[in-house]
Chain A
Amino acid sequence: MIEKKDIEKLAALSRIEVSEEEKDILRKDMESILAYVSQIKEAVSEVPPKEAGELRNVMREDNNPHHKGAYTKEIMDEVPDKESGYVKVKQIL
Chain B
Amino acid sequence: MSIDLKTLTIKKAHEHLTKGDFSVAELSEAYLKNIEVHNKNINAYLEVFDDIKEQTKGAQKLIESKTSGVLTGIPIAVKDNILIQGKRASSASKILEGYTATYDAMVIKKLKAGGAVFLGRTNMDEFAMGGSTENSAFGPTKNPHDISRVPGGSSGGSAAAVAMDGALAALGSDTGGSIRQPAAFCGLVGLKPTYGAVSRYGLMAMASSLDQIGPFGKTVEDAEILFNAIKGHDPMDSTSISDEMVKRKPSSERKLTIGVPKDIVDSPGIDADVLKNFNEGIANLKNKGYSIKEVSLPNAHFALSVYYIIMPAEASTNLARFDGVRYGLSKKGATPFEDYAKTRGEGFGREVRRRILLGTYVLSSGYYDAYYNRAWSLRNLIGKDFEHAFNEVDVIATPTTPTPAFKIGEKSNDPLAMYLADVFTVPANLIGIPALSVPFGTIDRDGKKLPLGLQLMAPHFEESLLFKVGKDVSEPSTI
From the candidates B239, B357, B419, name the one contacting A30 in the complex (CB within 8 A): B357
Does B246 belong to the interface (CB within 8 Å)?
Answer: no
Q: Chain A 12-31, CB within 8 Å of chain B: the 1/0 string? A: 11111110001001100110
| A-side contacts of B228, CB under 8 Å | none
Does A39 belong to the interface (CB within 8 Å)?
Answer: yes
Known: A33-B358, A40-B305. A87 touches B325 (CB 8 A): yes
Q: How far is the CA of A71 from the CA of B102 in the complex (A)?
A: 8
Known: A11-B357, A47-B377, A48-B377. A41 touches B370 (CB 8 A): yes
| B-side contacts of A41, CB under 8 Å | 370, 374
| B-side contacts of A50, CB under 8 Å | 373, 376-377, 380
Does B286 belong to the interface (CB within 8 Å)?
Answer: no
User: Across the interface, do B416 and A36 meet the contact criterion of CB distance under 8 Å?
Assistant: yes
Nearest-neighbor residue (CB-CB) of A47 within chain B: B377
Nearest Cβ on chain B to A73's Cβ, whole angstroms = 9
Does A62 belong to the interface (CB within 8 Å)?
Answer: no
Does B326 belong to the interface (CB within 8 Å)?
Answer: yes
User: Across the interface, do B305 and A14 meet the contact criterion of CB distance under 8 Å?
Assistant: no
Q: Which of B320, B357, B419 is packed against the most chain A CB atoms within 10 Å?
A: B357
What band does the interface of chain B fall in when counting residues whose beta carbon is under 8 Å from A?
A: 35 or more
Q: How far is the CA of A41 from the CA of B305 in the complex (A)?
A: 10
Q: Count contacts on A: residues with CB < 8 A to the other chain.
A: 45
Nearest-neighbor residue (CB-CB) of B312 within chain A: A33
From the candidates B304, B356, B416, name the one contacting A32 in the complex (CB within 8 A): B416
Does B361 belong to the interface (CB within 8 Å)?
Answer: yes
Q: How far is the CA of A37 from the CA of B416 in the complex (A)?
A: 10
| B-side contacts of A12, CB under 8 Å | 341
Does B348 belong to the interface (CB within 8 Å)?
Answer: yes
| B-side contacts of A78, CB under 8 Å | 99-100, 102, 326-328
| B-side contacts of A38, CB under 8 Å | 305
User: Across the interface, do B325 and A89 meet the contact criterion of CB distance under 8 Å?
Assistant: yes
User: Across the interface, do A48 and B309 meet the contact criterion of CB distance under 8 Å?
Assistant: no
Does B447 belong to the interface (CB within 8 Å)?
Answer: no
**Restricting to A19-72, which residues have a CB under 8 Å from any CB of B?**
22, 25-26, 29-30, 32-34, 36-41, 43, 47-51, 58, 60, 71
Q: How far is the CA of A80 from the CA of B340 in the complex (A)?
A: 13
Q: Chain B 350-388, CB within 8 Å of chain A: the 1/0 string? A: 100110111011001000001101111110110000000
Known: A75-B102, A90-B336. A30 touches B361 (CB 8 A): yes
Nearest Cβ on chain B to A65's Cβ, whole angstroms = 15
| B-side contacts of A75, CB under 8 Å | 102, 326
User: Across the interface, do B309 and A37 meet the contact criterion of CB distance under 8 Å?
Assistant: yes
User: Across the interface, do A80 and B324 meet the contact criterion of CB distance under 8 Å?
Assistant: yes
| B-side contacts of A90, CB under 8 Å | 335-336, 339
| A-side contacts of B358, CB under 8 Å | 30, 33-34
| B-side contacts of A26, CB under 8 Å | 353-354, 357
Q: Which of A11, A18, A36, A80 is packed against the most chain B CB atoms within 10 Å?
A: A80
Does A1 belong to the interface (CB within 8 Å)?
Answer: no
Q: How far is the CA of A14 from the CA of B346 in the complex (A)?
A: 14
User: Across the interface, do B357 and A77 meet the contact criterion of CB distance under 8 Å?
Assistant: no
Nearest-neighbor residue (CB-CB) of B348 within chain A: A16
| A-side contacts of B374, CB under 8 Å | 40-41, 43, 47
Q: Chain B 127-166, CB within 8 Å of chain A: the 1/0 string? A: 0000000000000000000000000000000000000000
Closest 7 A-B residue pairs measured CB to CB?
Answer: A17-B345, A80-B330, A58-B238, A15-B340, A78-B327, A74-B102, A37-B305
Interface residues of A (CB under 8 A from B): 6-7, 10-18, 22, 25-26, 29-30, 32-34, 36-41, 43, 47-51, 58, 60, 71, 74-75, 77-81, 87, 89-90, 92
A to B CB contacts below 8 Å, 12 in the list: A11-B341, A26-B354, A32-B416, A33-B415, A34-B358, A37-B308, A43-B302, A43-B374, A71-B102, A78-B326, A79-B326, A90-B336
